[in-house]
Amino acid sequence: MTNTNLSLNFAPVSISGETNIRAGARTYSPDSLQELRAAYTESHIFHWDRRNNKIVDIPVIGETAPLGNEIIDVNIADAFWLWPALLTSALVRTFAGKREIIRDYPLQVLGHEKSNLIAHESLPTWIQKRTLQEFTPRTLFGHNDLPTFGLLCDVRTRNQILGSCAQLIERGISVRGQYVLVDGYQGDKRISARPQLAGRVARIEGDELVLEDHREGCERVASASARLTGRLEVFDWCVREFLGSASEGILENARLQAAERTSGPGRLHAITGVLEFLRGCSLEAAPGIAFQVGDLLNSSDDRFPVTEGIPKPSLVFDPSGARTDVWNERGIKTNGPYDQRTFTPKKLNIAVICQGRYEGQVDAFIAKFLDGMPTVKTGKRNNQQARYGDGFLRRFQLEKPNVQTFTTKSPTLDAYTGACDAALQKAADDGFAWDLALVQIEEQFKTLPGNRNPYFGTKALLLKNHVAVQNVRLETIRQPDQSLVFSMNQMSLASYAKLGGRPWLLKTEQKVAHELVIGIGSHTTNTSRIGSGVRHVGITTLFSSDGSYHLSDRTNVVPFEEYSRALTETLKRTIVRVRDEDNWRNTDHVRLIFHMFKPAKDIEAEAIKATVEGLDLENVSYAFLHIAPHHPFLVFDHDQLGQPPWKPEKGIFGPSRGAHLKLGDSQSLVVFSGATELKRATDGMPRPCLLRLHRDSTFRDMTYLARQAFDFSAHSWRIMSPESFPITIKYSDLISERLAGLNEIPFWDSDAVRFREIGRTPWFL
């Protein structure tokens, strides 16, 4: 794959004029810096010079003198560290009074009110879906390894309910049960006050809202000074309250308009337009010094980051490494699973749990699942193939199983657990154990609270009795065969993995070092959106560099202040377990690569460092890699004309999966999910993930780390298609989601997946 016609949403910025200026300086203190910024934010920018422990102030408007008690000479052309603050200040002055500025860093500016994307004669003008422009100063490193300063620009949409709760109440709309905002501190008068979440409305008393789950000091707020959040579900609810049956068409039209603006062509048009506007403005860094904004950086420029197309990883389907393929589905159908000679038992005991009224449909479905659907072919007319012709048994080299069905009388938790009890009792009476339970559920179960949800109830009961569980929705069972074959592919793969099987592994180069790749995630147990009573569970998933899944582990549920210690203990326990099983010597070279869902400056990083230092290893290196889906970068591929090629509907200008842009020695952009992976035209533009390497990492090969992370996104045993994140992170997310529901089941035994054999399989897939 080549990437020869790319551009970034990054415009290089240069500076011109008489760049030698007089600045002020004074001894640094946090209070002084805060006070100066509050008092003089419109006339000066302030920088903490850490090397000299000074506050440096630069006048940015005419006839303004430095403020410090010491006057120094500064050449702005060489003081690159001042450019981000100077550019942001210039942008604020440019937009102030013309557009509503809602945030200063990154600078966020709302589009004109006339660009409101949702409108109806019965809808107040203060219900708005508007465009939002975001500006982030940043420095990149290109092919020439020289820094390029510039401005990242993005355009998206923002939902706003600007009317007060009093206005909603006057119109007969109750805000009970809704969370509300109040305006917070406004330091810079040019920038809108930052809203604060006050709490949830318990009741309305006169002109006041009585709040529960509230911020300290916000037991009551005036309804005239509170407003609703712009969260999608709240925004849509509010529109429905006003418009009733007419709301769906209005909401859908607004979504389509928003999708058009966030598509590749829409975003590129908006970004180039706003940059053209800035080039026509006077962007003064300081009196007599001007910023010049260039065109978007493209791959023909030496300043563009070093770019490669990471190839699909080669998957291995036998221990000798002779059977490989880059397509998992074809590889496993051709070769069988990696561990086909050692997997046991070959003759499975399978319990089927379903509602009695659907037993016939479920029975037919199970037959298709086990034996395959060889007559159902999909694809283009001249290239059709049986996507699930082999079936679960033949694909994974298994014998005819013992299958028994246990039915429920109703779709309730009690009925489902009763059927599970019957299955477990049957196995106990006949002296065998169930290997797998296939449980029929319904889509509507998602709306039930955890403590009444058959999905979580059956998982809780069966997992604690060492039975792997694979759920299947009734809606999936009823799919047309042309669609069902794809669902069967996913279900068969996940079921085999949950049984402890290894469908395939990643092909890796021979290494001197033992290497573990460890995903760090967390689960927060909290019913409050304000933050009171927060308790944390640290989650780790452990893999060898070939993708071998070792185990997952987690901390106890602890308060935040105990989280670091708990995570340290869990990490050490999991690493030591693998070290002992693989007989590492203390002198062996060991490499530990941590994939983190949060920046490594958070509490997890300190726990990791303490763990590494506490291991009895003499030659260990480690890397802390934050994999961030939210960041200001966009990549445009101008050769991507849309998918599918014969009827382009989605992904226009979207980058391809595997594109890797190295932004510097410690940052890369990697596209895990590209234009082809978009499901709908309204999904907008695919966005790369930003990989950040922490400065304390002792292994720093960013290209190696980026390629490895990409390989792990193609190594999911949950679905045949690639994941949108490396499975090190994705598996932690799945564990978190499952634990949230399981913890609401009264009879759930949390030790089931911590200390028992079922926990050494990916039970959460």
H/E/C letters for each residue in 29-93?
A: CHHHHHHHHHHHCCCEEEEEECCCCEEEEEECCCCCCCCCCEEEEEECCCCHHHHHHHHHHHHHH
Sign of CA dihedral 638, 642, 643, 644: negative
Report pLDDT for 1: 46
Q: What is the pTM of this model?
A: 0.92
Can you spell out the DSSP letters for 323-356?
-EESSHHHHHHHH--TTTTT---SS-EEEEEEEG
Domain boundaries, the chain: 20-75, 84-293, 344-498, 509-634+691-759
Give 273-309 pLDDT, tens digit per residue. 999 999 999 899 999 999 999 999 999 999 999 999 9
Residues with Cβ < 8 Å from 178, sequence gap 6 or more? 200, 201, 228, 229, 234
What's the Cα-to-Cα distance from 425 to each of 89, 406, 432, 442, 587, rounded to whole Å? 71, 11, 10, 25, 51
CA–CA separation, 70 vs 126, rounded Å?
49
Nearest residue to 553 via CA among 568, 542, 564: 542
Output the CA angle 507-508-512, nearest 5 degrees.
155
Rounded Cα gap, residues 437 and 114, in angstroms: 57
Q: Are 263 and 284 in contact (CB under 8 A)?
A: no
Check residue 533 and give its pLDDT.
58
Cα–Cα dist 352/440, whole Å: 8
Cα separation, 91 vs 13, whole angstroms = 13
**Cβ 348 vs Cβ 435: under 8 Å:** yes
Position 550 scores a pLDDT of: 83
| Enclosing H/E stretch for 425 | helix 413-430
In angstroms, rounded to a whole number, what is the distance separating the alpha carbons of residues 716 and 56? Answer: 51
The token pair that represents 475 in the structure block: 């809606």
**Which superfamily does 344-498 belong to?**
Response regulator (3.40.50.2300)
Residue 291 in contact with residue 15, Cβ under 8 Å?
yes
Q: Shortest CA distance to 93 belongs to which of 224, 223, 278?
A: 278
Domain 509-634+691-759, architecture per CATH: 2-Layer Sandwich (3.30)
The rounded distance, in Å, linking the Cα atoms of 143 and 319 is 40
Name which of 497, 504, 507 is nearest 734 in CA terms. 497
Q: What is the mean pLDDT of each run of 10 residues along the chain (765 residues)?
A: 81 94 94 92 93 94 92 93 95 94 92 88 93 95 88 94 95 94 86 92 94 91 94 94 93 92 93 95 93 96 94 94 93 94 96 97 97 88 82 96 96 96 97 97 90 94 95 96 94 96 89 84 72 67 87 72 77 84 85 84 72 82 91 95 82 94 95 89 88 92 96 94 91 85 87 78 89
State the sign of the Cα–Cα–Cα–Cα dihedral 200, 204, 206, 210: negative
Peptide linkage before 106 cis (omega within 30 of 0): yes
What lies within 8 Å, CB to CB, of 563 at 6+ separation is: 536, 538, 555, 603, 607
Kindly list the strands in the beta sheet with 324-325, ordered across the sheet, starting from the edge strand earlier in the chain: 324-325, 315-316, 505-506
> What's the confidence (pLDDT) of residue 586?
83
DSSP 8-state secondary structure symbol assigned to residue 562: H
DSSP state of 556: -
Q: Decide if 368 contacts 353 (C-beta within 8 A).
A: no
